């Protein structure tokens, strides 16, 4: 009998499971299993105690079927680094840690509202095994995705999930389809020279920032959990020859889809056009419900949506001063989500040249260049789509791309007008925004707190140019000789809004201008404690950043709305993760 390759692999493994493989876990049903992994020598827990929540996790319907039914998988199923062709995924199991694993943090909201799990599950050993790659739920066949990408402007060829495993798809009670991925869970055919691992510091940063971005209202992948092991992982953090021992960590992260621009690029580059069509059709069917599958212009419509949503995403990043750090095409989601958090940073004092990643020597991904690299990446997407478009569609697609700049500009202006509490239209609004940004640039005023404090200060205080000490960012801004001129213009504009009041303005503005963002020093302080197995600050930050617009006592006590401490000035973040 012929079996599809993934099923054959699964059957082969399942048959072997009884002979020398880890025994079925989770009671007699054997619903969770330890993965065979590349080295079956990894010790697997021999029992699965029935704890509160454990049964729930074992019967949990996570499945890779929809992906495996749609796409061919890599014909080779051994786990070694190679060039892979004619497939979208390789079947590959996570490599369990050899040492003890500890839970650093979980997102209650993700567990309960996205994954339909009771929060009590986090206390079970099954959960710890599951989220660290020690066990795979029956029905899920772990996959590594084959993709390519343009890195720092040049085609880099095959990249792929070198340290991530897509462990299944979950459709929740709201009917939402979520793809679950472990990051840092071991080598795959795409690991190139890497060790397949992620260290604690970068995992804390990804866990905290992806959740924080969600609560800021920015499309992003989510994070369900973060675990740390005692397995040694060696990293040269600043690429200066100073190699240090760190610990391996795993984030369980979720997105509606993990496909990237690079997912299509690799297929176009290798001329696998049938497969590219199949991938595109799958993405459109699953994630672009407004596009009809029988529409001969569907790829064009898809492109148009990605152009528009990418412009939207980057404008949103700019509105909170977020610099992604590595805007390569392999890190740009086809669903226009923020994904693959690495050396990102929130800009502190306003500076369009802000580069969060110290490895980015050419400053390619400086914050002020993100809109341009968005265009570069969309152009690469267009190049990848061209073989599937007819001449007329190609021409239309180029025109769509030409509209990107305007779309970005419109969205940027909308967002900054909202940040300034300006309803309605006025031809001078762009000038008012640009004028303020220039004052901020000249005075190095804090980006986040300038907007937040403008949301908190009263019109009367502004009118009198009386800036209380607590508004430290505005005090910095106030040192500019043109500050009073800007204030006059701003107040005039505010007073045009009939029916508005100062209270209404401030309420409006405080719901869009965060008081708390994940500043580098906060993440660093949480990482330093986490390195000592004190996870309290990771958890505190996680809690606080769930309500970035609300003043919170614990956050104030921790100094999260104050001027960054002096020691934070020298903080650096590199690509090393």
Among ligand AMP, Mg ion, none, what binds residue 360 when CB lies within 5 to 8 Å by partner kind? Answer: none
CB of 181 or CB of 448, closer to Mg ion? 181
Rounded CA separation 304/5 (Å) = 35
Residue 160 Cβ, how far from ligand AMP at the closest point, in Å?
5
* Cα separation, 264 vs 272, whole angstroms: 10
Q: Shortest approach of Mg ion to residue 220 CB, angstroms?
A: 14
Query: Please, which residue, 193 or 294, has the CB nearer to ligand AMP?
Result: 193
Is there a contact between 427 and 434 (Cβ–Cβ < 8 Å)? no
107 binds ligand AMP (CB under 6 A): no
Residue 244 Cβ vs ligand AMP, minimum distance, rounded to whole Å: 15
* Residue among 25 and 159 whose Cβ is closer to ligand AMP: 159
Q: Which single residue brings its beta carbon nearest to Mg ion?
A: 340
Q: Is residue 122 within 8 Å of residue 51, measured between CB atoms?
A: no
Greatest Cα pair distance, the chain, in angstroms, is 84
Please provide the size of the chain in residues. 577
Nearest to 342 by CA among 121, 155, 163: 163
Q: How many residues bind ligand AMP (CB under 6 A)?
A: 16
Interaction residues for ligand AMP, span 197-236 (CB under 6 A): 197
Which one of 206, 246, 265, 340 is in contact with ligand AMP (CB under 6 A)?
Answer: 340
**CB 190 → ligand AMP: shortest distance, Å?**
6
* Residue found under tokens 């995924």: 89
SS3 89: strand
Indicate which of ligand AMP, Mg ion, none lies near residue 424 (CB less than 5 to 8 Å, by partner kind). none
Cβ-closest residue to ligand AMP?
Answer: 194
Shortest Cβ 331–Mg ion spacing (Å): 4
Binding segment (CB under 6 A) for ligand AMP, from list 191-199, 224-232, 298-306, 492-500: 191-199
Residue 194 makes contact with ligand AMP by CB under 6 A: yes
* Residues engaged in binding Mg ion (CB under 5 A): 331, 340
**Among Mg ion, ligand AMP, none, partner that 190 touches (CB below 5 to 8 angstroms by kind):** ligand AMP
Count other C-beta atoms under 10 Å from residue 49's C-beta.
12
Among 189, 325, 342, 421, binds ligand AMP (CB under 6 A): 342
The Cα-based distances of 535 to 197, 199, 227 in angstroms read 20, 15, 11
Q: Give the pair of three-digit tokens for residue 275.
A: 């497969």
Return the number of the residue (161 or 524) whose C-beta is nearest ligand AMP: 161
- In the bound state with Mg ion, the residue whose beta carbon lies nearer, of 513 and 574, is 574
Query: Alpha helix (H) ranges present in 420-457?
Result: 429-443, 447-456
**Nearer to ligand AMP among residue 344 and residue 472 (C-beta):** 344
Nearer Cβ to ligand AMP (126/360): 360
Of these, 196, 321, 325, 478, which contacts ligand AMP (CB under 6 A)?
A: 196
Measure the CA angle with vertex 473, ends 324 and 207; round to 5°. Answer: 30
Structure tokens at 419: 């940040």
- Nearer CB in complex with Mg ion: 161/246: 161
> In sequence order, which ranges of 326-446 are alpha helices (DSSP H)?
370-385, 391-402, 404-419, 429-443
CB neighbourhood size of 399 (10 A): 10
Q: Spell out the alpha helix ranges (H) of 457-548.
A: 459-463, 472-477, 483-495, 502-510, 520-531, 536-544
**Under the criterion CB under 6 A, does residue 331 sit at the interface with ligand AMP?**
yes
Question: Would you call 2 exposed, middle or buried from its count of C-beta atoms within 10 A (0-12, 13-18, 19+)?
Answer: exposed
**CA dihedral (92, 341, 222, 416) positive or negative:** negative
Q: Mark residues 155-184: x for contact with ligand AMP by CB under 6 A, - for none.
A: ----xxxxx---------------------
Neighbouring residues of 3: CB distance < 8 A, sequence distance ≥ 6:
11
Pick the binder of ligand AMP from 10, 178, 190, 299 (CB under 6 A).
190
Active site residues: 330
Q: Which stretch binds ligand AMP (CB under 6 A): 110-118, 188-196, 294-302, 464-472?
A: 188-196
At 498 the three-state DSSP class reads coil
In the numeric block, which tokens belong to residue 440?
A: 């901020």
**Residue 446 binding partner per list ligand AMP, Mg ion, none, with a CB distance cut-off of 5 to 8 Å that depends on partner kind:** none
Q: How far apart, in Å, do the first and last CA atoms of the chain sit?
A: 45
- Can you list the alpha helix ranges (DSSP code H) found in 171-269? 200-215, 261-269
Nearer to Mg ion, 126 or 340 (CB): 340
Residue 349 in the binding site for ligand AMP (CB under 6 A): no
Among 109, 195, 281, 429, binds ligand AMP (CB under 6 A): 195
Which of ligand AMP, Mg ion, none is residue 220 near (CB under 5 to 8 Å by kind)? none
Q: Which CB, 234 or 431, lies closer to ligand AMP?
A: 234
DSSP string, 153-184: TEEEEE---SSEEEEEEEE-TTS-EEEEEEES
Q: How far is the CB of 341 from ligand AMP (least distance, A)?
A: 9
**Which one of ligand AMP, Mg ion, none is in contact with 514 (Cβ closer than 5 to 8 A by kind)?**
none
Q: Pick from 95, 107, 124, 191: which binds ligand AMP (CB under 6 A)?
A: 191
Question: Do 335 and 257 touch, CB atoms closer than 8 A?
Answer: yes
Of 420, 413, 496, 495, which is closest to residue 454 (Cα–Cα)?
Answer: 420
Minimum gap (Å) between residue 58 Cβ and ligand AMP: 30
User: How far is Cα 438 from Cα 322, in angstroms, rounded to an integer?
Assistant: 18
CA geometry: angle 13, 79, 329, nearest 5 deg: 120
Identify which range of 67-75, 128-136, 195-203, 238-246 contacts ligand AMP by CB under 6 A.
Answer: 195-203
Examine residue 133 and tell whether it contacts ligand AMP (CB under 6 A): no
Shortest separation between residue 163's beta carbon and Mg ion, angstroms: 10
State the nearest-atom distance from the C-beta of 523 to ligand AMP, in Å: 17
Min dist CB 32 to Mg ion, Å, is: 29
* Among the residue ranges 186-194, 204-212, 455-463, 516-524, the one whose residues contact ligand AMP (CB under 6 A): 186-194
For ligand AMP, the binding residues (CB under 6 A) are: 159-163, 190-192, 194-197, 326, 331, 340, 342
């Amino acid at each position: 009998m012929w079996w599809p390759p993934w099923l054959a692999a699964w059957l082969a493994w399942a048959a072997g499971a009884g002979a020398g493989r880890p025994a079925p876990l989770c009671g007699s049903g054997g619903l969770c299993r330890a993965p065979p992994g590349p080295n079956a020598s990894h010790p697997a827990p021999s029992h699965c105690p029935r704890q509160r929540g454990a049964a729930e996790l074992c019967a949990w319907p996570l499945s890779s079927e929809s992906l495996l039914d749609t796409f061919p998988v890599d014909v080779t199923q051994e786990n070694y680094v190679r060039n892979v062709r004619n497939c979208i995924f390789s079947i590959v199991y996570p490599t369990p840690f050899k040492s003890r694993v500890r839970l650093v943090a979980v997102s209650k909201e993700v567990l309960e509202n996205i994954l339909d799990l009771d929060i009590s599950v986090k206390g079970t050993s099954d959960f710890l095994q599951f989220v660290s790659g020690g066990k795979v739920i029956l029905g899920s066949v772990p996959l590594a995705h084959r993709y390519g990408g343009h890195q720092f402007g040049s085609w880099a060829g095959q990249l792929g999930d070198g340290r991530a495993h897509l462990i299944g798809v979950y459709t929740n009670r709201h009917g939402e389809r979520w793809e679950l991925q472990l990051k840092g869970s071991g080598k795959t055919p795409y690991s190139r020279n890497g060790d397949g691992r992620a260290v604690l510091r970068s995992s804390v940063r990804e866990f905290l920032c992806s959740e924080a971005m969600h609560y800021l209202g920015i499309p992003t992948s989510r994070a369900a959990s973060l675990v740390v092991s005692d397995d040694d992982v060696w990293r040269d953090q600043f690429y200066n020859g100073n190699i240090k021992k760190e610990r391996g960590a795993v984030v369980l992260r979720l997105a509606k889809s993990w496909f990237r621009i690079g997912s299509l690029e690799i297929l176009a580059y290798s001329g696998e056009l049938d497969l590219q069509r199949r991938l595109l059709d799958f993405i459109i069917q699953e994630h672009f419900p407004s596009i009809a599958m029988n529409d001969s212009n569907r790829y064009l419509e898809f492109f148009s949506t990605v152009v528009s949503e990418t412009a939207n995403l980057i404008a949103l990043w700019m509105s909170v001063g977020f610099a992604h750090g590595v805007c390569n095409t392999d890190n740009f989601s086809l669903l226009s989500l923020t994904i693959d958090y690495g050396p990102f940073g929130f800009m502190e004092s306003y500076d369009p040249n802000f580069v969060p990643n110290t490895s980015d020597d050419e400053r390619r991904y400086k914050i002020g260049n993100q809109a341009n690299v968005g265009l570069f990446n969309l152009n690469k997407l267009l190049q990848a789509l061209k073989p599937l478009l007819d001449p007329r569609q190609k021409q239309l697609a180029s025109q769509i791309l030409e509209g990107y700049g305007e779309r970005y500009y419109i969205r940027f202006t909308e967002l900054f007008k909202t940040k300034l509490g300006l309803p309605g239209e006025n031809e001078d609004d762009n000038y008012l925004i640009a004028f303020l940004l220039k004052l901020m640039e000249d005075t190095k005023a804090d980006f986040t707190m300038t907007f937040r404090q403008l949301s908190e200060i009263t019109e009367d205080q502004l009118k009198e140019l009386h800036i209380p000490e607590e508004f430290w960012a505005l005090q910095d801004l106030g040192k500019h000789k043109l500050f009073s001129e800007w204030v006059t213009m701003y107040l005039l504009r505010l007073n045009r809004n009939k029916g508005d009041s100062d209270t209404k303005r401030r309420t409006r503005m405080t719901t869009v201008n965060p008081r708390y963002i994940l500043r580098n020093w906060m993440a660093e302080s949480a990482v330093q404690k986490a390195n000592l197995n004190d996870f309290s600050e990771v958890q505190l930050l996680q809690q606080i950043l769930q309500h970035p617009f609300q003043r919170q006592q614990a956050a104030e006590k921790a100094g999260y709305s104050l001027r960054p401490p002096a020691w934070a000035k020298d903080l650096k973040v590199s690509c090393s993760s």
